[in-house]
Amino acid sequence: MFGPGGFLFSLLLALFGITDVRLVGATELDVHLHDDAGLAVATLDGCLSQLRAILVRAGAVIDIRVCRAESPYSCQLPKDGARVVDLRILSAPRTYSRDVQHPALGHSVVSERGGVYATVFLEAVQHQASAANVPWTVLLAYAAAHEIGHLLLGANAHTARGVMKGSWDAQDMQAIFQNSFRFSREQQKKIAECCGGGRESGRVQNFKTPGSARGRPGATAD
């Protein structure tokens, strides 16, 4: 039986048209990326390469697919056994943010078990990156990693430090700039158990692209 949070989670999935939810038993992570912000191809490739490196370092075997309108079927056939999540890049949130100075960098639709749908907000990322003197492409990758972290680890995955910290301060931004921001060891273990299958057998990890310094990495919906 679903509790209130689980019911809302299921309802949101239905509204987004997401019916194939794989929360357990997956062997690798399949990220379907929707670029509604219209980033240049080279810029997007750089962000996704950084995102991939963050998640591989956390223990995931990952395939990132860029889902383009001109190729609607490129992301509809996930590989057997893959944990599928959808990540969308929006220019800005579609609803008003109460924290104008430090708007959320992203949002994930999750229950305590996890989820399949997350967004990151480009304008908020660029604003926070400029304030912290950090390349926005790097911050975008870490914000996306935070939201995907919620999809894999659940709504209650915030930690006192690292990628899953609820709010990022100047010290965290410096760690992001130095590429030394990490998931916790316990979270790395969970990510590897969920989506790290095949690393020891040498399977290829694919990356496909068809054709304040205070940041709020994300708000979660139970």
pLDDT bucket at 214, cuts 50 / 70 / 90: very low
Does the pLDDT of residue 68 top 90, yes or no?
A: no
Beta bridge pairs of residue 66: 33
Structure confidence at residue 70 (pLDDT):
65
pLDDT digits (tens, 9 = 90+) for 47-66: 999 999 999 999 999 999 99
Q: What are the CA-CA distances from residue 40 to residues 44, 45, 92, 220 (Å)?
A: 6, 9, 17, 28
- Residue written as token pair 């998640």: 55
Does the pLDDT of residue 6 top 90, yes or no?
A: no
pLDDT bucket at 118, cuts 50 / 70 / 90: very high
Highest mean pLDDT among 67-76, 103-112, 148-157, 206-215: 148-157
Cβ-proximal residues to 101 (8 Å cutoff; 6+ apart), any chain: 212
SS (H, E, C) 73-107: CCCCCCCCCEEEEEEEEECCCCCCCCCCCCCECEE
Q: What are the sequence ranges of the domains in the chain?
A: 28-221
Mean local confidence (pLDDT), 119-133: 95
For all residues of the chain together, what is the average pLDDT? 78
The answer, as to whether pTM is greater than 0.85, is no
Does the pLDDT of residue 31 top 60, yes or no?
A: yes
- First CA to last CA distance, the chain: 15
- CATH ID of 28-221, from 3.40.390.10, 1.10.443.10, 3.30.70.20, 3.30.360.10: 3.40.390.10
Does the pLDDT of residue 101 top 90, yes or no?
A: no
